[in-house]
Amino acid sequence: MTQGCAHLAGDWSLAALRPRLPVLRRLLSVHGLQAAGWDLSAVTRMDSFGALLLWRAWGMHEPASVLLPPALQAVMQRVRLAPPVQSAPPVRDWRVALRALGRPGLLIASHAKGFLLMLGSVVLEAARLVYRPRAIPWREFSAAFYQIGVRALPIAALVGFLIGIVLAYLSALQLRNFGADALIINILGIGILRELGPVLVSILVAGRSGSAITAQLGVMRVTEELDALAVMGVSAHQRLILPKVLAMALVMPLLVLWTSAAALGGGMVATQLQLEIGWQHFVVSLAQVVPVQNLVIGFIKGSVFGVAIALVACHFGLRIQPNTESLSRNTTAAVVAAITSVILLDALLAVMTRGIGVPLR
């Protein structure tokens, strides 16, 4: 069935068409291929979208009779000449499933390879510095020490103190049932010094400094600062990663000591309030009932965890591609991986040190 001539008028630009677009689409789909002729002489303005809309309504070819004013020739021509769109046919390939299976494996392999390469480079750089002590990046080390350690002191103390109070309060309630009030000092002392202090600090530092390290390396990748360093013959491993790893190794035991002290302080306050055990008695018997090995284990754990956090954070930082999405994804992954590896290492160390520093009576 053929109908009469279609007369178009007014502004055929995207912004003007937008409010009436659904209605217009319906009208065009009905009349697009059926109208006998098209009269566009009353159209005041037309942009690529308006032209495209018509062109598609016409079924991608010029209708038999079109009245096209000269001003619209160019825009129509642009749409007519637009490269044909071919959407890629969906790939049906049995190997797709296989690839999906293999991809996680390859990803893990690439992470392992990258991590080992970085670890090797850091060790080599450290060895090189033994022969060239003048090249030791003291300033970077000191900056990392300050950022990771000193700046974390207030928050570490606050968290430690509060956790100490909570732990002592809960334990005190249970111990009183058994009349074993005095054991609170053993529980708090061994639990905090050996386990809670290092793990608490590590989680705090992984969230605080781990993400910062990853983001810093990532932004340096995005802004090509890593490339600039490499061109100037400065090893990023030596100047950026090694100082952070060393700073972590040294500052973490100190943070562990600080946080454990705060947690014991909190425990002491709660003990005094709940069980009426005075702080003098608490301090004196702490030294008697908690073997000093526990403190040493806590320090070692802190150091190991710190190194792990720094290495994981740097590893993910170096993997960042120069785009914002990769930056955010890798920063998240770095914190998650750092905390996970801290917990795994903690389990490992707990098994390794199970016979040390726990008096059995």
Partner 1 sequence: MSPVVSLCDISTRLGGQWVHRGLTLDVAQGELMALVGGSGAGKTTLLRQITGLQRPTSGAIELFGEPLYAGRRSQRFARLRRLGMLFQQGALFSALTVFDNIAFPLREFGGLHEAEIRVLVLAKLGQVGLAAQHATLMPAQLSGGMVKRVALARALALEPELLLLDEPTAGLDPERSAAFVALIRQLHAELGFTVVFVTHDLDTLSALATRVAVLAERRILASGTLDEVHATEHPFIQKFFRYHTTIDETPAE
Binding site residues, partner 1, CB under 8 A = 13-15, 18, 21-22, 47-49, 52-53, 56, 74, 78-79, 81-83, 85, 87, 222, 321-326
Nearer to partner 1, 17 or 206 (CB): 17
Torsion of CA 256, 174, 277, 162, to 10 degrees: 40
Q: Which is nearer to partner 1, 48 or 121 (CB)?
A: 48
**Least spacing, CB of residue 297 vs partner 1, in Å:** 44
Q: Least Å distance between CB 84 and partner 1?
A: 9
CB of 326 to partner 1, least distance (A): 7
In the chain, what's the furthest Cα-to-Cα distance? 105
CB-based burial label for 136 (10 Å; 0-12, 13-18, 19+): middle
For residue 260, CA distances in Å to 197, 233, 273 come to 5, 43, 20
Q: Give the shortest CB-331-to-partner 1 separation in angstroms.
A: 14
Q: Which residues of 324-349 are buried (b: 16+ CB within 10 A; e: fewer)?
A: eeebebbbebbbebbbebbeebbeeb
- Going edge to edge, which strands form the sheet with 3-12? 3-12, 35-46, 66-67
Question: In whole angstroms, how close is the CB of 41 to partner 1 at the nearest point?
Answer: 19
Q: Which residues contact 193 (CB under 8 A, 6 or more apart)?
A: 260, 264, 290, 294, 295, 297, 298
Give strand ranges (E) for the chain. Answer: 3-12, 35-46, 66-67
Q: How far is the CB of 314 from partner 1 (least distance, A)?
A: 21
Which residue, 68 or 222, has its beta carbon nearer to partner 1?
Answer: 222
Give min distance, CB of 318 to partner 1, in A.
16
Q: Which is nearer to partner 1, 6 or 79 (CB)?
A: 79
Helix (H, G, I), strand (E, B) or coil at 33: coil
Give the residue with the Cβ less far from partner 1, 85 or 130.
Answer: 85
Considering the complex, state which of residue 21 and residue 182 has its C-beta at the smaller distance from partner 1.
Answer: 21
| Nearer to partner 1 among residue 72 and residue 175 (C-beta) | 72
The CA-based dihedral angle spanning residues 256, 259, 264, 269, taken in that order and rounded to the nearest 10 degrees: 180
